[in-house]
Structure 1
Amino acid sequence: MTADYEAITLLEEDNVAWITFNRPDRLNALNDQLLEELGHALDFLATSDSRVIVIRGSGRAFSAGYDVGSDSNEIGYAHERSPVEDRDRQLANIDLFLKVWRHPLPVITSVHGFCMAGATQLCVFSDITIVAEDAVIAASPAVPIGGGFISPLWATIVGPKRAKLMSFDAGHRISGVTAVEWGWATEAVPADALDEHVRALALSIARTPTAILKLKKEAINRVSELQGLVTIGRMGAETDALLHLTPEVQLLQNLIKERGLKGAIAHFNSGEMKF
C-alpha cells in the first residue's frame, strides 16, 4: 500500500511499513508539514495489517532536526508566539513523538548520515534504533537557540554526564559506534549494510503476531514510564519556552534570520560573537 504525501512517503510491504522522510534538499529537517504527515501516517498504521514500522530518511541524512532556517516557522515567526503558545508548540512535538512510543506496532528508526537535535527525540521514543557506524549524531543545534528540551531525554538513556556534554557544548557530535557504546542506539552496522540489516530485522520481528508484540512493547515501556520518561519529555518544553525569551537566544534567532543558519553557525564559531 502507498499513500499520497509530500514531506514523507509511506510504503507497506510484507507486513512492514516504511515511513521515509522526503525533504532531502533540507536534510529532512522537521517542518510543520513533515510532522503533520508523520502523525497522520502513524494514525493510519495503527489499524493497518503491518506489524512493524521503520522510519528512515531519504538522501544524505536521517534528519537534521527541527527546521530552524530563516524562513521556518520555528525561527521566522517565533516572535509572534506568546510564551504559552511557544510551550504548547514544543509540547505538540513531544505528543507527536509519543505516538511512536505508544504505537501498537514496534517502531524502528534507521539512522544514516546526520541525526541532529529534534530528530534524536524521535529516536529516543522509538523502540529500536539502528545506526550506520559513520552516522553523525548531535543532541543540540550548532548554535544554542534553546535547551532543556532534548538533552534531558538523552539523560534517561546515556546518563546525566554524557547528556550534559551533548547539551553544554553546542553541536557536539558522536558517531553511530559511540551512540551504541553509550546505549543511545541499539546496533551499529556499516553504512552500506544498513538498509539490508534493518529490512532483515523488521521482517524477523514481523513473524510475531501483532497482539503479542503490542503487549511486549507495553510491558517494557512501563519501566521507562515509571522512571519518568514521558514527564521528562514534556517538562522540557517549559524550559525551552523560557530560554526562547532570553536576550541571548533572541539575538541568535535574529542572526539566523539575517545570515541564514550556516552564516549564524559560522559567526558563532568564529569567536567574534559577544553576549
Structure 2
Amino acid sequence: MSDMVLRSDTDGIATLTLNDPDTLNSLSDAMLAALSRALADIAESDARVVILRAEGKAFCAGHNLREMQAMRQAEDGGAARFADLFDRCAAVMAQITQLPQPVIAQVHALATAAGCQLVATCDMAVAAESARFGVNGVNIGLFCSTPMVALTRNIPRKHAMEMLTTGTFIDAARAAGLGLVNRAVPDGALEEETHALAATVASKLSRAVRIGKGAFHAQADLPVAEAYALARDAMVANLSEADTAEGIQTFLEKRAPGWTQ
C-alpha cells in the first residue's frame, strides 16, 4: 500500500485515507494510481464497507494543476495527456461504483472540482459542518465538465448548473439539502457519525449488500421496465442465498440469525 493512500481495517470496515496534504490531496498521477490499487485490493477482500477520508486542510482539491500545466510541453499542447488523465480519473470513479462494498466519504474540509466529483461518486457521504463543496474550475477558465457527470447524478440539474457556471461553494448543510451528502454533522462528531453509519452497513448480510449495490447502480439509468427486470433477477439471486433463507426464517421465528457471512 502506498503512503499516499493509507488503509486500516476494523470489524469489517476498511478505511482509506488520502495522505498527500501538501497538495491538498490532489488527484495527481500518483494519487490516482495509489487509489486505484487500494480499491482493487479491497474488491478482493472480505471488507464489508469502506470509509474514504483524508488528512490535512482539504478532503481533495481536485486535479493537480501543476502537473496539468507541465503536460502542455508536449507537441500537441498536452491534449493527449489531458485526455489520458481524465480517462484514468473516470476509471477510478468507476472502480468506486463497481466496488462490491459500499463506499462512504468522510468529508472533513474542502472538496473542490474533481474532489467534489469524488464525494459525489461515493455511495454515501457524511460531512463536517465546516466542509465546503464546489466545482469552481470556471473561476480559472476551466469548466468542470468531468466532475459535472457525477454531480448531475447527485443533485438537481439547475443547482448543479449554478454551481458549475458560478464557481460558488456551498456549505455542508446545503450539500445535505441538495443530496450531495447524506448528512452534515458537528466537526467533532464527524468520525463517530461516519463510523456509526459504516458499522450499521457492516452489520448486515454482506452478500445481500453486495448484490444490492450492484443492482442499485446497474438499474439507475435504465428505463423503468428494464430496471424492474434487472431488480427482479437481483432479488431472485438474493433469495437463493442460504443465509437469506435463514434470515427470513429467523424473522418469522423471532430469533437471531445464524449467518455464515
- Taking structure 1 as the reference length, the TM-score comes to 0.75
Q: Secondary structure at the match of 1:50?
A: coil
> C-alpha root-mean-square deviation of aligned residues, in Å?
1.7
Deviations 1:137-156 (A, max 9, x none): 10223422243222243222
Q: In structure 1, what is the equivalent of residue 166 of structure 2? A: 169
Cα-to-partner distance string for 1:145-174 (whole Å, 9 max, x where unaligned): 24322224322222221111111113x100
What residue in structure 2 maps to residue 203 of structure 1?
A: 199
Deviation string for 1:83-110 (max 9, x for gaps)?
Answer: 3443232122111110000100111111
CA distance in 1, matches of 2:19, 2:172: 22
- Higher relative contact order by CA 8 Å / sep ≥ 6: 1 or 2? 1
Map 1:69-108 onto structure 2 (within 5 A): 72-80=66-74, 83-108=79-104
Aligned-partner Cα distance in 1 for 2:217–2:165 = 29
CA distance in 2, matches of 1:225, 1:210: 25
Q: Answer yes or no: is the 8 Å Cα contact 2:24–2:57 preserved in 1.
A: yes
Mapped contact 1:9–1:22 kept (Cα < 8 A):
yes
For residues 21 and 147 of structure 1, what CA distance do their matches in structure 2 show?
Answer: 22
Q: 2:131·2:172 contact (CA, 8 Å) conserved in 1?
A: yes
Q: Which amino acid aligns with 1:28?
A: N
Larger radius of gyration: 2
1:224 is aligned to 2:214: no
Q: 2:38 aligns with which of 33, 41, 54?
A: 41
Q: Distance in 2 between matches of 1:192 and 1:112?
A: 10
Partner of 2:6: 9
Asked if structure 2 preserves the Cα contact closer than 8 Å seen for 1:67 and 1:74, the reply is yes
In the TM superposition, 1:257-272 aligns within 5 A as none
Find the residue that maps to 2:197 and give its secondary structure: helix
Native 8 Å contact 1:152 1:163 kept in 2: no
After the TM superposition, which of the residue ranges 33-42 and 119-128 deviates more from structure 2? 119-128
Instruction: Compute the displacement of 1:23 (Å).
Output: 1.1
- Residues 217-270 of structure 1, C-alpha deviation per residue, up to 9 Å, x if partnerless? 12221232327xxxxxxxxxxxxxxxxxxxxxxxxxxxxxxxxxxxxxxxxxxx
The size of the alignment, in residue pairs, is: 220
The yes-or-no answer on 1:117 pairing with 2:113 is yes
Partner of 2:129: 133
